[in-house]
A and B are shown apart, each in its own frame.
Chain A
Amino acid sequence: MRFFLEVLISGLLSGVMYSLVALGFVLIYKASGVFNFAQGAMVYLAALSVVGCMEKGAPLWLAIPLALGIMTLFGIATEKFVLRKLVNQPPIALFMATIGLAFFIEGLAPMVFGSDPRALDLGIVDEPIEAILNRWGMVISRFDLVAAGIAALLVTVLALFFQYTRIGRALRAVADDHQAALSIGIPLQHIWAIVWGVAGFVALVAGMLWGARNGVQFALTFTALKALPVLIIGGFTSVPGAIVGGLIIGASEKLAEIYLPPLMESAFGGNFGGIEGWFPYVLALLFLLIRPEGLFGEKHIDRV
């Protein structure tokens, strides 16, 4: 039972890390109805900006706002040079644009800041908390708990922002219909620039935490891989959904990784494992069949 709980908690905490990446997707989707293929690349760019600034002599406290500045400028530039031309175009056109953007960032970022994998020390030790280990014999990382706290704070702030601010309401209107939003005087370009800037901020938080955990390197772009099933389960338009989806994916994939292989081995023989690579997608597929809009997504009803 202790081991089960340990795996479960570890999975939930891993899920929070997935949620951080998924949040960026949700923001863009809410504003434009488009799946931002470049979100993983943005996580990479953000983390690389932090270590890049630090290598130029900036301390961490200064590197973070500098990186935020870079991400904000990037957001504004994306709106000005990519999205502005695509207003009222089909979502697939915007989606294709984000694919181009992803490759652009993946090529440009290492060219500017270098491609060497680098360590990022945030001063949070990724070691088991002694008190928990001694009392319950369970390994819970201090770093994971801090990450969970940061994610909770971020979700609260974003949820309040979308629900209670004028920009949040304007953003939801834009997501529903670009043309209608423009016709009632909502400044679409302004809204998109803001939302891409906020998505850049979320990417910065995710990039710093993932970078501190695994090193700042190209593989940060892969963090987006786990965000897709999180979004399918939580819903593409829900900030709390990204968190709940992340927790479900994190916990279920870890439990599956530990407890499924022995069952599969006794049934089929051979050696099984490494199933957490595909398990979240199978789970997402099941959710799609049962609840296509996700747990917290908006249900679309089209009149025929």
Chain B
Amino acid sequence: MFAYRKPLLAVAVSFALLSQAALAEDQFFPIVSYRVGPYGANGQAFYGGFVDYLNYVNLKDGGINGVKLVWEECETEYNNAKGVECYERLKSKAKVSTGPLHTMSTGISYALIEKAVDDKLPLAMMGYGRTDAVDGSVFPYAFPLVTTYQMQASAILKFIKDKEKGSLEGKKIAFLYHDSAYGKEPIVALQEEAKLNKFDLSLIPVAHPGNEQSAQWLKIRQENPNYVIFWGWGVMNQTALKAAQKVGFPREKIIGSWWAGSEEDTVPAGDAAKGYMAATWNVAGTTVPLIADIEKVVYGANKGNLQDKTKLGTILYNRGVSAAVLSVEALRGAQAKYGKGKPVNGEQVRWALENLDITDARLKEIGATDLLPPIRTSCANHEGSGMVKIQQWDGAKWVPVSGWIEGDKALIHPLFKVSAQQYAKEKNIVPRDCTKES
């Protein structure tokens, strides 16, 4: 009870940090977050991890080459209009120096994608957002880093194919999805995969919010697919697992997207979630050396951002840390090019995001081996990786059951190119020549 004390403290701390943000020698981070509202529980873990890593860099190394990281959070409640309002509020503070802005919402990403170009403020959309922004020639300031919905769907199929002894021919796969832009994004990729791998694809949408799915699961029971690929969100995830239990569909045959693969999705479903699998681009657990060190350094100094420390090491917390790792690595790259020990601006960070090269060796150096996949971006490839792991819920925790799996880039990336070119035509954008970028 009385959990409001911490948020009040957080507000007070934010004001204190706000005053620091004005200092020209600091590196500012605009953070549009959602810690309250319908999806607040997810946001608390993610932003807890994100802010903890920024704090960790300050505490452990005194910032990036001596440049201290400061930030300001603005609450969106996962609402597009509030997201734009927050962006407008924060962008003036991000003029001198800025980290990438993680929108954490496909809707907010779409709303900001054109504004960000005008304001020279790079957007990071890790695993969500406008996926054809992989083509950096058309979208210079948008970065769907790590992987996209389409590449993730393709990687899930690769995992299933391996389980089915290398062939999907004649198999039945049902795609149960949130009837929204998020849920529909991978359909084109799945249809291409179905043609290539000769499996039957059945599309089953679920109306928002998805708290009632008995019709869909009776349909699944009738069709009796070999697997269900599941693109759920929020309450839809627990409802699906419970409904699958109700019709007796084995949870071991359901593979969800990363938005349906956190503890927040499985714990409320109780026993119904056991055996369920989901894709992820970061692993859970406090055994990752970086996460263990954050606990020691940040929480040891009593500067942890989590209100509920049990979230430390959860999928979403570690995802927040991963997002911050990529942001900080981009800032290091920008400083290396434009001047060590100096804050960097949006244009410079944009260059760095387009030239990220986080190798296994670098991940090991920062204690993040296997936390996230290696990433190498370019003007033509703002995604940089396209890899996910498949994890399984054992009733108490997520356990990885595969190594990093890359989606079929040769099949999927041309789809992005076509879509991006179409967008360029509609908006009268002249695509950059990526061969001339460095």
Contacts and interface: CB of A to CB of B under 8 A. Distances in A.
B40 A218 contact: yes
B249 to A, nearest CB: 10
A215 B263 CA distance: 13
B246 A139 contact: yes
B3 interface: yes
Interface in A98-138: 107, 110-119, 121, 126-128, 133
Contacts of B40: 110, 115, 218
A238 interface: no
Interface string A1-20: 00100110011011001000
B247 interface: yes
A273 B203 contact: yes
A257 B267 contact: no
Contact of A273 (B205, B208, B270): B205
Contacts of A107: 36
B222 A218 contact: no
A32 interface: no
Interface size class of A (residues with CB under 8 A): 35 or more
Interface stretch (A149-157, A195-203, A219-227, A287-295): A219-227
The residue among A115, A219, A275 with the most chain B CB atoms within 10 A of its own CB is A115
Interface string B249-279: 0000000000000001001111010000000
Contact of B3 (A112, A215, A225): A112
A139 B247 contact: yes
A221 to B, nearest CB: 8
A219 B209 CA distance: 8
Given A276-B215, A277-B208, A126 B245 contact: yes
A266 interface: no
Contact of A10 (B214, B239, B245, B267): B214
Contacts of B3: 111-112, 114
Contact of A214 (B2, B207, B268): B268
A276 B212 contact: yes
Contacts of B208: 277
Contacts of A237: none
B207 A222 contact: no
29 contacts: A10-B215, A14-B212, A17-B212, A111-B4, A114-B3, A117-B235, A118-B268, A119-B267, A126-B272, A127-B248, A133-B248, A139-B218, A215-B235, A215-B238, A215-B267, A215-B269, A217-B268, A218-B38, A218-B39, A219-B38, A219-B209, A221-B38, A222-B211, A225-B209, A271-B203, A273-B204, A276-B207, A276-B212, A278-B207
Given A215-B269, A219-B38, 14 more contacts: A107-B36, A110-B36, A111-B3, A116-B41, A119-B268, A139-B221, A213-B242, A215-B268, A218-B40, A253-B215, A257-B216, A258-B219, A274-B207, A276-B215
Interface of B: 1-4, 7, 36-41, 44, 179, 203-209, 211-212, 214-216, 218-219, 221-222, 234-235, 238-239, 242, 245-248, 264, 267-270, 272, 308
Interface of A: 3, 6-7, 10-11, 13-14, 17, 52, 56, 107, 110-119, 121, 126-128, 133, 139, 141, 143, 210, 213-219, 221-223, 225-226, 253-254, 257-258, 271, 273-278
